[in-house]
Homo-oligomer: A and B are copies of this chain.
């Protein structure tokens, strides 16, 4: 057996997403167990996933395969963490449950991907850090997934390259279409602004030493007493700064932007067009060098979907006829290229060929 066997604790929105991800998109991984306070939800997920996951599904139900037992539902999350057939754990449980579950992961030496927050307060988070340190190797990764976003990664790379000189300032914007009325003002800091905290620490590569949170007059579209939007200023150890708008009832949609201002230019991501720079007297971005850069995701999806369809005994993409028809048009095109005249495309009668 070679795949990493994953167990997921908490299969709400985020955990169920991760479950799909592990099953359908992740190479070298296998989901073997799930656990949730809502047992029915866990059962439903475990039942649903194999039915739709293509080859795995067919094979799993064929019996005798290494997937023979499907995805187990484990009642107690600590049992899941301790289980011999679980190599690594994703924690997508509520934040208040993280501390205990993280300690369990450390105890059993299980690598764990823990959705943020690590724990509910700094004191308990520090105890986790200390406990991991005693284990002697890093087992805990926190789910600050922006570091993996291709745009953020490209921004980090650009800033670290030094091409723009030292980074001086960040302007961050973080907007949600809306949140439930239960989303209190402190949660804007703890659940939304926390991403900007990590982004600032990561991009600057140093700690934040001071924070000011301003509360502009709130939008009228929230309950009285709530502070939304908020405007924060972060001051970092070296004197660099960041300002951050968090606005969780923006109505329009989800928007995350980050502009880094450096000594010789600025770079913005979150506009939907890669890294947008203002540098060297120009604004704009870089052209992809070739088709593999531009269409990498297309190739990935093509092959993943072809594998999935193959496992089902189907075709899920352009057919042989499509290849033939393209060839017929190109032949006519080459004739037109030399004659300079319009050329009719001589295509076989599809209904006769394919019956």
Assembly CA distance A288 to B283 (angstroms):
10
Contact A330 B190, beta carbon cutoff 8 Å: yes
Residues of chain A in range 10-59 having any CB-CB distance to chain B below 8 Å: 17-18, 21-29, 53-59
Assembly CA distance A333 to B244 (angstroms):
12
Contact bitstring A296-334, B, C-beta under 8 A = 1, else 0: 011111111111111111111111111111111111111
Contact B118 A323, beta carbon cutoff 8 Å: yes
Assembly CA distance A323 to B91 (angstroms):
14
Q: Is A1 an interface residue (CB 8 A)?
A: yes
Chain B CB within 10 A, most for which of A176, A211, A254, A315: A211
Interfacial chain B residues near A251, Cβ < 8 Å? 263-265
**Min CB distance, A256 to chain B, in Å?**
6
**Min CB distance, A225 to chain B, in Å?**
12
**Min CB distance, A315 to chain B, in Å?**
4
**Min CB distance, A78 to chain B, in Å?**
19
Contact A133 B282, beta carbon cutoff 8 Å: no
**Residue in B29, B125, B287 whose beta carbon sits within 8 Å of that of A281 in the complex:** B287
Contact B267 A252, beta carbon cutoff 8 Å: no
Q: Is A72 an interface residue (CB 8 A)?
A: no
Assembly CA distance A139 to B317 (angstroms):
11
Q: With A113-B303, A165-B220, A169-B245 as known contacts, state yes or no: A215 contacts B142, CB within 8 Å.
A: no
Q: With A211-B343, A275-B155 as known contacts, state yes or no: A59 contacts B1, CB within 8 Å.
A: yes
Interfacial chain B residues near A319, Cβ < 8 Å? 138, 140-142
Contact bitstring A230-266, B, C-beta under 8 A = 1, else 0: 1111110011110101010011111110000101111
Contact A253 B281, beta carbon cutoff 8 Å: yes
Interfacial chain B residues near A209, Cβ < 8 Å? 344-345, 347
Chain B CB within 10 A, most for which of A17, A141, A304: A141
**Min CB distance, A267 to chain B, in Å?**
5
Contact B254 A288, beta carbon cutoff 8 Å: yes
**Min CB distance, A237 to chain B, in Å?**
10
**Residue in B214, B229, B283, B336 whose beta carbon sits within 8 Å of that of A261 in the complex:** B229
Q: Is A224 an interface residue (CB 8 A)?
A: no
**Min CB distance, A229 to chain B, in Å?**
6
Assembly CA distance A207 to B324 (angstroms):
11
Q: Is A268 an interface residue (CB 8 A)?
A: yes
Interfacial chain B residues near A2, Cβ < 8 Å? 55-56, 58-60, 62, 65-67
Contact A148 B207, beta carbon cutoff 8 Å: no
Q: Is A198 an interface residue (CB 8 A)?
A: yes
**Residue in B18, B151, B301, B307 whose beta carbon sits within 8 Å of that of A274 in the complex:** B151
Assembly CA distance A325 to B207 (angstroms):
8
**Min CB distance, A53 to chain B, in Å?**
7
Q: Is A223 an interface residue (CB 8 A)?
A: no
A-B pairs with lowest CB-CB distance, top 7: A284-B284, A253-B287, A2-B59, A118-B323, A55-B311, A265-B279, A217-B239
Residue pairs across A and B with Cβ atoms less than 8 A apart, 27 shown, are: A2-B56, A2-B60, A4-B307, A17-B299, A18-B299, A28-B53, A111-B310, A118-B326, A126-B353, A140-B315, A141-B315, A142-B317, A144-B317, A147-B318, A149-B298, A168-B217, A168-B247, A194-B327, A194-B330, A198-B326, A202-B322, A207-B325, A211-B336, A213-B333, A217-B239, A252-B287, A253-B286
